[in-house]
Amino acid sequence: MATTFLLNGTNTTLDADPNMPLLWAIREVARLHGTKFGCGMAMCGACTVHVDGQAIRSCVMPLSSVANRQVTTIEGLKSKQAKAVQAAWIDLQVPQCGYCQSGQIMSATALLEKNAAPSDADIDGAMSGNICRCATYPRIRAAIHAAATAAKA
Amino acid sequence: MSNSNALPSRPARREFLKGAGAAVTALTIGFEWAGSTRRAVALAGAASTAAPFAPNAFVRIGADNSITIISKHIEMGQGSYTGLATVLAEELDADWAQVRVESAPADATRYANLAFGKIQGTGGSSAIANSWPQLRDAGAKARAMLLSAASSEWHVPAAELTVEKSVIYHAPSKRQASFGSLVKKAAALPVPDTVQLKDPKDFKLIGHQAARVDVAAKCDGSALFTIDVEMPGMLVALLKRAPLFGATVKSFDGAAAAKVAGVVKVVQVPNGVAVIAKSFWAAKLGRDALTVEWDDSKAEKRSSAAMMDEYRRLADQPALPARKQGDAKKAIGEAARKISASFEFPYLAHAPMEPLDAVVKLDAKSCEIWAGDQFQTIDQMNAAQTAGLTPAQVSIHTLYAGGSFGRRANTVSDYIVEAVSIAKAYGADGTPIKLQWTREDDIRGGLYRPMYFHKFEAGLNAQNELTGWHHVIVGQSIMAGTIFAAGMKDGIDPTSVEGAANIAYGIPNIAVDLSTTKAGVPVLWWRVVGSSHTTFAVEAFIDEVAHAAGADPFAFRRKLLEHEPRMKAVLELAAEKAGWNAGPLPKGKGRGIAVCEAFKSLVAQVAEVSVDDGGRIKVDRVVCAVDCGTAVNPDIIKSQMEGGIGFGLGAALYGAVTLKDGRIEQGNFNDYRVLRMNEAPKVEVYIVPSTENPTGVGEPGVAPIGPAVANAVFAATGKRVYVFPFSKSDVRS
With a cut of 50, say whether residue B469 has pLDDT above it.
yes
Give, to the nearest 10 degrees, the angle between helix A101-114 and helix A120-127. Answer: 130
With a cut of 50, say whether residue B163 has pLDDT above it.
yes
Q: What is the mean pLDDT of residues B524-543?
A: 98
Phi, psi (5° rounding) for residue B367? -135, 115
Least confident of B4-18, B104-118, B159-173, B556-570: B4-18
In the three-class reduction of DSSP (H, G, I as helix; E, B as strand; rest coil), residue B246 is classed as: coil
Q: Are residues A91 and A139 in the same domain?
A: yes
With a cut of 70, say whether residue B484 has pLDDT above it.
yes
With a cut of 90, say whether residue B43 has pLDDT above it.
no
Share of chain B above pLDDT 90, in %: 91
For residues B167 and B189, what is the distance between their CA atoms, to the nearest angstrom?
Answer: 19
Searching chain B, which residue's CA lies closest to the CA of residue A35?
B221
Distance between B354 CA and the closest CA of chain A, angstroms = 6
E strand or H helix at A108, and its extent? helix A101-114
Rounded to two decimals, the ipTM of the complex is 0.98
Distance between B424 CA and the closest CA of chain A, angstroms = 24
b/e string for A111-138 if b means 16 or more Cβ within 10 A? Answer: bbbeeeebeeebbbebbbbbbbbbbbbb
Q: Are residues A91 and A70 in the same domain?
A: no
Chain A contacts of B702, Cβ < 8 Å? none
Interface mutation target, options A3, A133, A137, A144, chain B, most CBs of B under 10 Å: A133
CB nearest to A95's CB, from B218, B440, B644:
B218
Q: Are residues A99 and A66 in the same domain?
A: no
E strand or H helix at B618, and its extent? strand B617-627
pLDDT score at B435? 98
Contact call for B221 and A134, based on CB within 8 A: no
What domains can be seen in chain B, in order of their start residue? Answer: 13-218 (3.30.365.10), 226-297+356-436 (3.30.365.10), 304-348+447-728 (3.30.365.10)
Tell me the per-residue pLDDT of A82-122, one tens digit each, with 9 for 90 and over.
999 999 999 999 999 999 999 999 999 999 999 999 999 99
With a cut of 90, say whether residue B44 has pLDDT above it.
no
Q: What is the dihedral of CA B314, B317, B318, B323, to 10 degrees?
A: 60
| Strand order from edge to edge, sheet including B99-103 | B53-56, B59-61, B67-71, B99-103
**How many structural domains are present in chain A?**
2
**Between B658 and B24, residue with greater pLDDT:** B658
Q: Is there a contact between B243 and B272 (Cβ–Cβ < 8 Å)?
A: no
Put simply, whether A120 touches B (Cβ < 8 Å) is: no
Q: What is the mean pLDDT of residues B499-505?
A: 98
CA end-to-end span of chain B: 64
Burial of B4 (0-12, 13-18, 19+ CB in 10 A): middle
Least confident of B7-16, B103-112, B201-210: B7-16
pLDDT score at B635? 97
Assess whether the previous peptide bond of B725 is cis (omega < 30° from 0): yes
Tell me the per-residue pLDDT of B449-462, one tens digit each, with 9 for 90 and over.
999 999 999 999 99
In Å, how far are A30, A97, B455, B547 from B469, measured between CA atoms? 63, 40, 11, 16
For residues B477 and B723, what is the distance between their CA atoms, to the nearest angstrom?
Answer: 21
Q: Are residues A65 and A128 in the same domain?
A: no
Give the CA count within 13 Å in the CB-facing half-sphere of B28. Answer: 22
Q: Are residues A71 and A91 in the same domain?
A: no
Name the pLDDT band for B48 (thresholds 50, 70, 90): very low
Give the CA count within 13 Å in the CB-facing half-sphere of B631. Answer: 23
Where do runs of H (alpha helix) occur along B240-337?
A: 255-259, 280-288, 304-314, 328-333
For residues B347 and B700, what is the distance between their CA atoms, to the nearest angstrom?
Answer: 19
Q: Give ∠ CA B700-B703-B709 in degrees, rounded to 5.
A: 140
Q: What is the mean pLDDT of residues B578-589?
A: 95
Searching chain A, which residue's CA lies closest to the CA of residue B222?
A34
Q: What CATH number is given to the structural domain containing A11?
A: 3.10.20.30
With a cut of 90, say whether residue B32 has pLDDT above it.
no
**Between A30 and B117, residue with greater pLDDT:** A30
For residues A51 and A45, what is the distance between their CA atoms, to the nearest angstrom?
Answer: 14
Chain B contacts of A125, Cβ < 8 Å? 678
Q: Are residues A29 and A62 in the same domain?
A: yes
pLDDT score at B197? 97
Contact call for A94 and B215, based on CB within 8 A: yes
Q: What is the mean pLDDT of residues B134-147?
A: 98
Name the pLDDT band for B51 (thresholds 50, 70, 90): confident
Q: Please list, in sequence order, all residues whose beta carbon lies within 8 angstroms of the beta carbon of residue B206, skipping any fewer than 6 positions away.
A: B86, B87, B90, B200, B630, B632, B633
Q: Is there a contact between A56 and A65 (Cβ–Cβ < 8 Å)?
A: no
Q: Are residues A64 and A88 in the same domain?
A: no
Q: Are residues A88 and A29 in the same domain?
A: no
Q: Which domain holds residue A133?
A: 80-152
Q: Please list, in sequence order, all residues whose beta carbon lies within 8 angstroms of the beta carbon of residue B331, skipping any fewer than 6 positions away.
A: B459, B467, B468, B508, B509
Put simply, whether A143 touches B (Cβ < 8 Å) is: no
Q: What CATH number is given to the structural domain containing A128?
A: 1.10.150.120
Q: Are residues A91 and A112 in the same domain?
A: yes
Q: What is the mean pLDDT of residues A138-142?
A: 98
- Among the candidates A76, A96, A112, a domain finishes at A76
Searching chain B, which residue's CA lies closest to the CA of residue A121?
B678
Q: Is there a contact between B233 and B431 (Cβ–Cβ < 8 Å)?
A: yes
> Which residues, in sequence order, are bridge partners of residue B523?
B448
With a cut of 70, say whether residue B1 has pLDDT above it.
no
Share of chain B above pLDDT 70, in %: 93
Burial of B24 (0-12, 13-18, 19+ CB in 10 A): middle
Interface mutation target, options B33, B74, B214, B219, chain A, most CBs of A under 10 Å: B219
Q: What is the mean pLDDT of residues B140-167?
A: 97
For residues B473 and B637, what is the distance between their CA atoms, to the nearest angstrom?
Answer: 31
Q: What is the mean pLDDT of residues A19-23?
A: 98
Give the CA count within 13 Å in the CB-facing half-sphere of B530. Answer: 26
Q: Is there a contact between B353 and B402 (Cβ–Cβ < 8 Å)?
A: yes
pLDDT score at B50? 66
Length of chain A: 153
Q: Please list, in sequence order, all residues whose beta carbon lies within 8 angstroms of the beta carbon of residue B9, skipping any fewer than 6 positions away.
A: none
From the list B591, B728, B716, B706, the residue with the least C-alpha distance to B650 is B706
Going by their DSSP bridges, the two strands B452-460 and B682-687 should be labelled as unpaired
Q: What sign for the dihedral angle of Cα A2, A5, A7, A9? A: positive
Chain B contacts of A44, Cβ < 8 Å? 353, 439, 669
Chain A (55-84) residues lying within 8 Å, Cβ to Cβ, of chain B:
73-75
Chain A (17-56) residues lying within 8 Å, Cβ to Cβ, of chain B:
17, 20-21, 24, 27-29, 31-41, 43-44, 46
Burial of B329 (0-12, 13-18, 19+ CB in 10 A): middle
Put simply, whether A153 touches B (Cβ < 8 Å) is: no
Distance between A69 CA and the closest CA of chain B, angstroms = 22
Q: Are residues A61 and A88 in the same domain?
A: no
Q: Are residues A87 and A120 in the same domain?
A: yes
Chain B contacts of A97, Cβ < 8 Å? 76-77, 352-354, 400-404
CB nearest to B281's CB, from A17, A73, A97:
A17
With a cut of 70, say whether residue B725 has pLDDT above it.
yes
Share of chain A above pLDDT 70, in %: 100
- Among the candidates A40, A57, A76, a domain finishes at A76
Least confident of A99-103, B46-50, B555-559, B625-629: B46-50
Tell me the per-residue pLDDT of B659-701, one tens digit each, with 9 for 90 and over.
999 999 999 999 999 999 999 999 999 999 999 999 999 999 9
Q: What is the mean pLDDT of residues B310-314?
A: 98
Contact call for B354 and A130, based on CB within 8 A: no
CB nearest to B401's CB, from A97, A129, A132:
A97
State the average pLDDT for chain B.
93
Q: Are residues A57 and A34 in the same domain?
A: yes
Searching chain A, which residue's CA lies closest to the CA of residue B645?
A135
**Between B451 and B1, residue with greater pLDDT:** B451
Tell me the per-residue pLDDT of B381-401, one tens digit each, with 9 for 90 and over.
999 999 999 999 999 999 999
For residues B334 and B328, what is the distance between their CA atoms, to the nearest angstrom?
Answer: 10
Chain A contacts of B35, Cβ < 8 Å? none
Q: Within 10 A of B248 (CB to CB), how many other CB atoms are there?
A: 15
Phi, psi (5° rounding) for residue B220? -130, 10
Contact call for A97 and B682, based on CB within 8 A: no
Contact call for B401 and A128, based on CB within 8 A: no
Contact call for B228 and A33, based on CB within 8 A: yes
DSSP states of B146-160 as a string? HHHHHHHHHT--GGG
For residues B477 and B498, what is the distance between their CA atoms, to the nearest angstrom?
Answer: 12
Searching chain B, which residue's CA lies closest to the CA of residue A27?
B228
With a cut of 60, say whether residue B28 has pLDDT above it.
no
For residues B140 and B133, what is the distance between their CA atoms, to the nearest angstrom?
Answer: 10
Tell me the per-residue pLDDT of B195-219, one tens digit each, with 9 for 90 and over.
999 999 999 999 997 789 999 999 9
State the average pLDDT for chain A.
98
Q: What sign for the dihedral angle of Cα A86, A89, A92, A98? A: negative
The residue type at B562: E
pLDDT score at B575? 98
- Among the candidates A22, A42, A76, a domain finishes at A76
